[in-house]
Structure 1
Amino acid sequence: MNAPFAPRAVLNTSPEQGVSPVAPALVRRRLQCYLGIMLGDMLAIAIGFAVIGWAIHGQLGFSRALVYGQLVLPIFLTLALYNGSYSLTTLRNAWSGVARTMMAMTLSVAVAVFVQFLIRPSGELPRLAFVLGSVTAMILMAISRRQMRALVRWRCGAQVLNELVIDDGGPKVDFPGAIRVSAAAMGLRPDLKDPDALDRFGLVLRNIDRVIVSCPVGRRAEWAMMLKGANVDGEVLDDVVVRLGAQGARVSGQHGLLLVSAGPLGLRERAIKRMFDLAFAGSAILALSPLLIVIALAVKFYDGGSVLFVQRRMGRGNRFFNMYKFRSMTEALCDADGNQSASKNDQRITPVGKFIRKTSIDELPQLFNVLLGDMSLVGPRPHATGSLAGDKLFWEVDLRYWQRHSLKPGLSGLAQVRGYRGATDKESDLVNRLQSDLEYLEGWTIMRDVQIIFLTLRVLVHDRAF
């Protein structure tokens, strides 16, 4: 067995050395714990009914007990998933998990009895075996949940989530189990006009579940804006909360905390979106592989340059990543920083490039970005840091621009299917896209992603592709 989990050590605190994560990732470890606890609950139901059935009626009772276990199990899992039996609260507090499991099991038994009555109103239900089997299953579940505490502590530690306190000159606070870093030592500053500062902040926050910033009053607004695009639960220390007795704010000890940001998707939604991305992108790459090969050869043979154009873009959590496209411009004139948008009759674009841009085929290599986890099929389109709307950088037009990075960027998005794509000659071109992106963040569903993908097929060829 591996060594006990110890997530609280800061791995790199020197601004000169670059930035490493200050904590290990816990999302997969929490998922492993959820699956382990769920498996324990399922075994408890199966064993509870089977043992009692065998003890009372022998082989016949054993067979019947398994049937009733199969009836109760799907009902229990449905109720348990919705009443929070598998949640952060239950990972942190075993007794909370036991209580919620007992409630779900009690309701499951009641539903199973009702279903049995509807299916066989004149049949006899072996009441003693069913009741004793249910009680035994509940006892085994409680025991299993308590024993699983060792698994949770081993995989996730005592706190279960990674909590980070950033000290930027505010009141000194003490949160047991939290990681503490100095903003000055880490080279962190709330500068919304510096993409590199945002990228550094995003790298420090990688794997973090909750961030608390302690800073002077004058810097709270800037830190709040930084947190809104970070895809984490972000809180800013404000002791006025305690004095006012503000409703809806968190109080810890003598300190008040204002929630200023939250990730737009929960764990379940992120898992659904990721599975959809992997299934669709993987299938698309296989289906389109002949086209990808032909285009790659055409780009290569035209001028002998590189097949792919790789450009640094801003992604989730305001972190940089390398985005792939088929190269559509002559290699010597490719604009790595995106300072000059392509225009109609742009002399930099090759004949092959003109075709693949017109048909959006140049974007297909981003399917590999999806597989790598840098992008999603649907989300706000990633932009180069030097992109201009009129004569202003994108974030200079509206500071809410950084909030769009709380989700992974997408191959397509709500703005694109509404026709907001191509060059941003005016500030309004950026504002229209931003409004659509923020609207997408507020109302995500998997069905909306599917709808956007189908709508994208209608605008693959468009008059603003140049």
Structure 2
Amino acid sequence: MNQIDPKRLQTSRAPRKPGMLKAGDEHSRLNPIAWQVAQQYKRETMSPVMVLGVMRLVEFSMLLLSGFVLYTLYVGLSPVLFWHYMTVIGGGSVLMVVLCEFTSCYQMRALRNPTGSMGRVLVAWMATFAALALTGFFLKISDSFSRFWLGSWFVCGFGALLVLRITMSQLLRRWARNGTIERRAVIVGGGSNAEQLIRSIEQQPYNDIRICGLFDDRDDLRSPPVIAGYPKLGTITELVEFTRIARIDMLIVALPISAEKRVLSLLSKLWVLPVDIRLSAHANHLRFRPRAYSYIGSVPMLDIFDRPINDWDSVAKRGFDILFSLIGIIVFSPIMLATAIAIKLDSRGPVLFKQLRHGFNNEPIEVLKFRSMYVEQCDPTAKAAVTKNDPRVTRVGRIIRKTSIDELPQFFNALFGSLSLVGPRPHAVTAQTHNRLYEEVVDGYFARHKVKPGVTGWAQINGWRGEIDTDEKIRKRTEYDLYYIENWSLWLDLKILFLTPISLFNTENAY
């Protein structure tokens, strides 16, 4: 796959012709170069953390499988000592993975250079068998096990690890070349600090960071348009738009800690984005404890914000959504069928209604609902909120809105991935209160889009459900949504899910 190199892009900014971009285009605030770069990085990448986690699982499975196959071939599936052998195979496989973890065999550097790390893998595998032998000796059960089987497992297990790691190193090289596995970073700030940071990052061996460009509010006199070969793509406001389009993993603020006011000003604009935000500490003379830093190679970073529900947490949450969405569809299918028939008999028009709403990272998504209004008066934009005794709502619509039955089709949204079962409720893209958009009312409103929106949420079970007719209501909803994001866990999702039916008894604001 061909990639655009930010270093080779022209840095002159082409003037926009009147009418060149229509109002509302997602790139209307970006200059043509930034738009071109953002388009290049729209594709999702594989997280190195996820790749390393899968590698642990694959090696564990290979050792388990090789031990079991050799057992069945040589010893046979006899009930005598069966569980003894299974305990040794399972325990040995787990111990091997743990020892490899402690000897740094599950680092990207080790996987990319298998010849340099296989010595440590062999030592870990030998230590595993030594531990098994000692355990058998002290428990006086070593005579019960086949020596040939143990020797065969040792040889075959190590051979399987060797083949797997050589294959993995080839895959990693290919993925690194085509951008499949990388961490995409944007440098915030310019000048000599940014240049030193870029040089330091590029000097790191086995570096998985791809620098996509720089953004800085200062003019070209104070912040050059090209730094270390990378173009300045725009201002901090444009960076927010850029990150809405491109799949960026990390923002690195290249400012000294001493520039406190400027750092705080930047963070107040950037914290709403679903990315890791790091403050570069490579040029700071002030030093903290080692645990206060994260590192890109040997380049120290101070962790300011972490992307919520990331890596394995996102896998767990997706599994949660699929499982409980299927359960919900099965359990509520009679109600959904009855509702569809009632809607069809009550008024002409389709049973389902699609509404455009804000999704993850402000992306527009279509949310499914049962139609509750007369078809000629449906409002896909939700610009005019439904009020008490609203004449647009049908007879069946009043019932299903009051009981939230109109939301049941969103189980399908959650199943297919545009929504989560639990999360901040998605608001319509033009939703307003007193003719003001929600983002104009609440500072940091878009921070609630750092995770996928949900069918139900923390705000809803705490009483903030239904019509939003005051500024205070949208502020409270946002406050509860941000609390959920900062305190997320599967247990909290489960709690919200099971408290939702109880919260539906409060129909005060549900019209």
With structure 1 as the length reference, what TM-score do the two structures score? 0.76
Call closer, same or farther: CA 1:214–1:125 in 2, change over 3 Å. Answer: same
Among 71, 74, 80, the alignment partner of 2:90 is 74
CA contact (8 A) 1:98 1:141 kept: no
Secondary structure of the equivalent of 1:242? coil
8 Å CA contact 2:423, 2:457 repeated in 1: yes
**Partner Cα separation in structure 2 for residue 412 and residue 294 of structure 1:** 22
Compared with structure 1, are the counterparts of its residues 255 and 156 closer, same or farther at alpha carbon in structure 2 (3 Å cutoff)?
Answer: closer
Q: Specify every segment of 5 or more residues in structure 1 that has no aligned partner in the other structure, as ranges.
A: none
How far has the Cα of 1:411 moved from its partner? 0.6
Question: Per-residue CA shift, 1:87-109, capped at 9, x if unaligned?
Answer: 99623432697688678767865
Q: Does 1:212 align with 2:252?
A: yes
Matched, 1:230 2:273: yes
Q: How far is the alpha carbon of 1:121 from its aligned partner?
A: 5.3
Quick check: 406-415 or 99-108, which moved more?
99-108
2:59–2:161 CA contact under 8 A, matched in 1: no
Once structures 1 and 2 are overlaid, which stretch shifts more, 104-113 or 380-389? 104-113
Using the alignment, how far apart are the partners of 2:236 and 2:87 within structure 1?
A: 55
Alignment of 1:185-224 (within 5 A): 190-191=236-237, 201-204=243-246, 206=247, 208-212=248-252, 220-221=263-264, 223-224=266-267
Shift of 1:439: 2.4
Mapped pair 1:151 → 2:171: yes
Please tell me whether the aligned partners of residues 188 and 197 of structure 1 are also in contact (alpha carbons under 8 angstroms). yes
Q: Is the 8 A contact 2:105 2:121 kept in 1?
A: no
What SS does the corresponding residue of 1:27 show, helix, strand or coil? coil
Residue 348 (structure 1) aligned to one of 386, 392, 395: 392
What residue number does 2:46 align with? Answer: 27
1:376 aligns with 2:397: no
After superposition, give the CA deviation of every residue in 1:190-222 in whole Å (9 maximum; x if it has no partner). 44xxxx985653221x2x433335589776546
What secondary structure sits across from 1:434 in the alignment? helix
SS at match of 1:341: coil
Please name the residue that 1:164 is paired with.
Answer: 185
Mapped partners of 1:211, 1:330: distance in 2: 47
The Cα of 1:233 is off from its aligned counterpart by 1.8
Moved more, 105-114 or 424-433: 105-114
Q: Distance in 2 between matches of 1:442 and 1:202?
A: 21
Cα-to-partner distance string for 1:217-264 (whole Å, 9 max, x where unaligned): 77654653454343322335577x523235534576998744332122
Residue 28 of structure 1: CA displacement?
Answer: 8.0
Alignment of 1:175-194 (within 5 A): 175-176=201-202, 178-181=210-213, 190-191=236-237
Which runs of structure 2 are paired with 1:284-295 in the superposition (5 Å)?
284-295=328-339
For 1:39, the equivalent position in structure 2 comes to 58
1:326 deviation in Å? 1.8
Alignment of 1:286-325 (within 5 A): 286-325=330-369
Q: 1:62-91 CA deviation, whole Å, 9 max, x = no partner?
A: 989997663244335556777884999623
Q: Evaluate the alpha carbon distance shift between residue 284 and residue 400 of structure 1 in structure 2; reply closer, same or farther with a 3 A threshold.
A: same
Matched, 1:91 2:133: no
When structure 1 is superposed on structure 2, of 453-462 and 220-229 the one drifting more is 220-229
**What is the aligned counterpart of 2:480 among 419, 436, 443?**
436
Per-residue CA distance 1:361-381 (angstroms, 9 max, x = gap): 111121222123111111111
The answer on whether the counterparts of 1:296 and 1:307 sit within 8 Å (CA) in structure 2 is yes
Question: Gaps spanning 5+ residues in structure 2: where?
Answer: 10-26, 203-208, 217-230
Distance 1:31 1:245, change over 3 A: closer
* RMSD, matched Cα: 4.7
Amino acid at match of 2:287: G
Amino acid of the structure 2 residue aligned with 1:412: T
Per the alignment, residue 510 of structure 2 pairs with: 465
Q: Give 1:38 deviation, angstroms.
A: 3.8
Aligned partner of residue 212 in structure 2, secondary structure:
strand
The separation in 1 between residues aligned to 2:189 and 2:362, in whole angstroms, is 20
Distance in 1 of aligned mates of 2:48 and 2:269: 27
2: CA distance, partners of 1:123 / 1:270:
44
Shift of 1:341: 2.7
Alpha-carbon separation, structure 2, partners of 1:97 and 1:366: 49
TM-score (normalised: structure 2): 0.70
Cα 1:125–1:291 change in 2 (3 A) is same
Does the residue aligned with 2:285 lie in a helix, a strand or coil?
Answer: helix
* 2:20 aligned residue: none
Q: CA, structure 1 residues 304+45, in 2 after alignment: closer, same or farther (shift >3 Å)?
A: closer
Aligned residue pairs total 450
**Alpha-carbon distance in structure 2 between the residues aligned to 1:7 and 1:80:** 39
CA separation of 1:354 and 1:45: change in aligned 2, threshold 3 A? closer
The answer as to whether partners of 1:48 and 1:136 remain within 8 angstroms in 2 is: no
Tell me, yes or no, if the aligned pair for 2:373 and 2:392 is still in contact at 8 Å: yes
Q: CA deviation at 1:346?
A: 2.0
Aligned residues with identical type, % of pairs: 27
- Quick one: structure 1 residues 316 and 355, their matched pair in 2 at CA, closer, same or farther if it must change by over 3 Å? same
State the one-letter code of the partner of 2:275: V
SS at match of 2:503: coil
Please state whether the residue corresponding to 1:458 is helix, strand or coil: helix
Preserved contact between residue 380 and residue 409 of structure 1 (Cα < 8 Å)? yes
Quote the offset at 1:165 in angstroms.
Answer: 2.4
SS in 2 for 1:429: helix
Amino acid at match of 1:71: T
Q: Distance in 2 between matches of 1:249 and 1:199?
A: 29
1:367 matched residue in structure 2: 411
Q: 2:461, 2:137 → 1: CA distance?
A: 52
SS of the residue corresponding to residue 107 of structure 2 reads: helix
